Amino acid sequence: MNIILKVILAVYNFFVGDLVILIGVTLLMVILALIHFLGALAALRGGSGIILIVGVLATLVATLGREVIRPENRQHDAT
């Protein structure tokens, strides 16, 4: 069981490395799948490319913002 967890963690770190990106892209794919398969959302199918781009950009901005806010990443004055 321990080896399975190590393999899953290694694959996760290789492909994503950040939980915010993993969750953001997963939610985005679920939203795009719902748009594609639900007839009620058929009007949004033409804009799914824009939804994909905006969703990925929003996920990356959220991750970058989280990294900037971290105290260990802040630069201190050398005074």
CB atoms within 10 A of CB 59: 20
Which of 38, 66, 33 lies closest to 52, judged by CA? 33
pLDDT value of position 14? 75
pLDDT value of position 72? 76
Q: Is 76 contained in some domain?
A: no
Element (H, E) at 15: helix 2-15
Q: Measure CA 49 to chain center.
A: 16
Q: What is the pLDDT along the chain (79 residues), one digit of tens a residue?
A: 788 888 878 877 777 777 788 888 889 999 999 998 988 888 888 888 999 999 999 998 988 888 788 777 677 665 5
pLDDT value of position 29? 93
pLDDT value of position 68? 81
Domain range for 43: 18-70
- 42 burial via Cβ count (<10 Å: 0-12, 13-18, 19+): exposed
Q: Measure CA 16 to chain center.
A: 8
pLDDT value of position 79? 55
